[in-house]
Amino acid sequence: MTIVSTAVPALGQSDNPLLEPWNTPYQTPPFSQIRNEHYAPAMRAAIKEAENNINNIIKQKEEATFDNTIVALQTASQSLDRISSVLFNLNECNTDSAMQQIVMELTPELTRYENSVSMNEQLFARVKAVYEQRDKLELTTEQRTLLEDTYKGFVRNGVNLSSKDKKIFAKNSERLAELSQKMNQNVLADNNNYILHITKKRDLNGLPENVIAAARQEAEERELDGWVFTLAYPSFGPFITYADNRNLREEIWRAYNSRGNRGNENDNNEIIREMTYLRYQQAHLLGYANYSEYVLSNRMCETPAQLSKFFNQLLDASMPFAIQDLKEVSSYASRHGAKLPLQRWDFSYWSEKMKQDKYDFDEELLRPYFQLENVRQGIFELYGRLYGLTFKEAHDIDVYHPDVKVYEVFDGNRFMAVLYLDMHPRASKRSGAWMTEFRGQSNIGGNEIRPLIQVVCNFSKPVGDKPALLSFDEVETFMHEFGHAMHGMLSDCTYPSISGTSVKRDFVELPSQVMENWCYEPEFLNTFARHYQTGATIPLDYIQKIRAAEKYLAGWLCVRQLSLGLADFGFHTITKPIEGPIEDFERLHMKELLPAVPGANTSTAFTHIFAGGYASGYYGYKWAEVLDADVFAKFKKEGIFNKATAESFRNEILSKGGTEHPAVLFRNFMGRDPKIDALLQRCGFNN
């Protein structure tokens, strides 16, 4: 029997819905009742309650045990976790200026609480007492992992520092949390502060009809004549890829690639300079040579030396192909009248034209076959075939925005999760796509709590009477984020801090990236890819062309991804403050093959590493590509719908969260350690 706990700690009666039990289906957040003014008092009350719970753990007369100390810590901040998950998740996808101010106000207070716990010597003494008995205790694998993670978490957060260094560490932590939020806000502001307003129809030449219609709708919503393009990717991406007007391509490209680097009130240069040095200081206080060494000491890739070797191995394999890709695109562009060298606002345009000629195929022809609702249903049915899951739309569960759809997820009669899908861009939502949760999965003492999962994307919107029609890239993104969602929904762990996606950062992308592979399989595409008007199944020759183009620009794209990882690595191996413009520092570390553009700076909008938890971890996408190619090769061999293989993947990886080291989980599924061969084969680098 699945139990969903309705119990919340007694915070006292109030008219604040964040402080009351949520008498809603599955105890989902009552979004329509929550107002901005509720957050600050609720967070402060929850912090006080958590502090009391921590003091109760410390003041126990009984000797420290696994249950009265380690497990007690798992539930000490239950109310705080519940409230903060609502605030911080909505600040990412449905924010406003008032909420942003509240987040900036509360972030230092929350960080101070976290520091007060992680640096509490009395609390750590109890944790250490249990840790030192670990070999004598009869612990399960999950319990041993939790114990080790808890102990290391205290050490990694400064509990063993001197009093003086603790104050420095705590102050730095507060400042880093504040800067992270500020950077996110700055990027969103710069994103929203630019539009490309077109009033002459000739400036639309080259753009697909659906893109033009969307731009017209955007203009109408803004009460403007003509057409409006924004920096939201469903608008920016097609424009930079298809627009014949090179000057306008350059304008919007510069706008997109100068976010956070415009010298205005949203500029992130000083934020990056301060954050990177503060991170170095934190690592140095803990005895590490640099921040990367600190981060990697708790990853699958364990050292900077190992990471450098990984970068070099993939660069050696991909760089010759990347150079050849550039030569081919440049030659093609030159033959068709372009001036060389190609600039950054030229490459997507000419590479797309070459792709259309090379494969006799325009990816825009795919859109009519990828109606959002059909793609969503296809994904639902895929997980039904693999894992026996069903998805039922829930109309009685509250949402935070009209765009959001909610589903109950079942495995037979067993309730597994609530799933929120938020698919389209808006000014209150940051760019990109991500999965997160309003509540994680746990099962302490047989009280099973199932997760509340959120998937947020920025996909092409419906235009007029046309439904939302996705690009193939958007279909891949949907599959990617849904892989993360499955990792959360199929979790079957005991303790919340190591359930679901709470795994080492360079392993977390495996369940998501492996799912992208299904997008190239006719057996899967034929289950849902139908023309939104005629109902006709996607033509076989379209699928063949998708597969033929799978390796197109593989070298170029690999080097681009590695370059982002190298920039991240550079920022987090510094030992002194960065001098000079951040764009110069970025250029020094990235392996860019196109001419540099003054004012262009990826890093000042690189929220993954400065506001998203991927600091010195962006390499993880490529690292996980090795894993996902290896895993999918097994699926291909045994059948992409093979239930035995899927169940093994579920039981050995998806359900296990972070209960064991990922290398062990991988070996349990594959029967061996990872090999790079499948990735090299997929990219065509071993031909």
**Could you give the residue numbers annotated as active site?**
481
Amino acid (1-letter code) at residue 232: A
The half-sphere exposure of 114 on its side-chain side, counting CA atoms within 13 A, is 19
Q: What is the DSSP string of 499-516?
A: STT-S-TTTTTHHHHHHH
Of 201, 270, 207, nearest in space to 236 by CA: 207
CB atoms within 10 A of CB 135: 7
* Centroid of chain to Cα 368: 28
Six-digit token pair at 406?
Answer: 């909610």
DSSP for residue 366:
G
List, in sequence order, every beta strand (DSSP E) within 55-133. Answer: none
Partners of residue 196 on adjacent β-strands: 229
Q: How far apart are CA 86 and CA 477, in angstroms?
A: 24
H or E, element range at 443: strand 442-444
Angle of the 344-359 helix axis to the 304-335 helix axis, nearest 10: 70
CB atoms within 10 A of CB 541: 11
DSSP for residue 290:
S
What is the total residue count of the chain?
687
Of 430, 489, 474, nearest in space to 612 by CA: 430
* Centroid of chain to Cα 612: 8
The gap between the terminal CA atoms of the chain, to the nearest Å, is 53
Give every CB contact of residue 115 below 8 A, 6+ residues apart in sequence. Answer: 157, 158, 169, 170, 173, 174
Of 97, 98, 112, 115, nearest in space to 40 by CA: 98
Cα separation values, 661 from 493, 507, 613, Å: 14, 10, 20
Q: How far apart are CA 607 and CA 602, in angstroms?
A: 10
Determine contact, residues 614/620, Cβ cutoff 8 Å. yes
Q: How far apart are CA 332 and CA 676, in angstroms?
A: 32
Determine contact, residues 431/259, Cβ cutoff 8 Å. no
Give every CB contact of residue 337 below 8 A, 6+ residues apart in sequence. Answer: none
Partners of residue 530 on adjacent β-strands: 537
Give every CB contact of residue 157 below 8 A, 6+ residues apart in sequence. Answer: 114, 115, 118, 119, 169
